[in-house]
Amino acid sequence: MKPKVYVTRQIPDEVLAMIRQTCEVRVWSESDVPVPRDVLEREIADVEGLYCLLTDQVDEALLERAPRLKVVSNMAVGYNNIDVEAATRRGIMVTNTPDVLTETTADLTFALLMATARRLLEASEYLRRGAWRTWSPMLLTGQDVFGSTLGIIGMGRIGEAVVRRAKGFNMNVLYCNRTRKPVAEEAYGIRYTDMNELLRQSDFVCVLAPYTPQTHDLIGAAELRQMKPTAVLINTARGGIVNEDALYEALRDGTIWAAGLDVFEREPVVPDHPLLTLPNLVSLPHIGSASVATRIKMASLAANQLIDAMSGHRPAHLVNPSVKEIN
Q: Are 10 and 27 in contact (CB under 8 A)?
A: yes
Which residue, 177, 181, 186, is CA-closest to 218? 177
How far apart, in whole angstroms, are the C-alpha atoms of residue 220 and residue 169? 29
286 carries an active-site annotation: yes
> Which of the residues 238, 244, 295, 317 is marked catalytic?
238
Q: Are 80 and 211 in contact (CB under 8 A)?
A: yes
CA angle 235, 240, 243 (to 5 degrees): 80
How far apart, in whole angstroms, are the C-alpha atoms of residue 44 and residue 60? 13
Length of the chain: 327
Which phi-psi region, left, alpha or beta, contains residue 191 (left: φ > 0; alpha: ψ -120 to 50)?
beta
Three-class SS of residue 206? strand
Q: Are 281 and 251 in contact (CB under 8 A)?
A: yes
- One DSSP character per residue, 283-298 reads E--S-TT--HHHHHHH
Where does residue 170 rank: exposed (0-12), middle (13-18), buried (19+ CB within 10 A)?
Answer: exposed
Q: List, in sequence order, every residue forming a beta bridge with 192; answer none if it has no partner.
A: 175
**Other C-beta atoms lying within 10 Å of the C-beta of residue 26:** 13
Enter the DSSP assignment of 323: H
> Which of the residues 60, 64, 125, 267 is marked catalytic?
267
Q: Are 319 and 96 in contact (CB under 8 A)?
A: yes
| Residues 6 or more apart whose Cβ sits within 8 Å of residue 115 | 121, 260, 282
How far apart, in whole angstroms, are the C-alpha atoms of residue 187 and residue 179? 17
267 carries an active-site annotation: yes
273 carries an active-site annotation: no
> Which of the residues 119, 286, 295, 317 is marked catalytic?
286
| Residues 6 or more apart whose Cβ sits within 8 Å of residue 31 | none
Residues with catalytic roles: 238, 267, 286
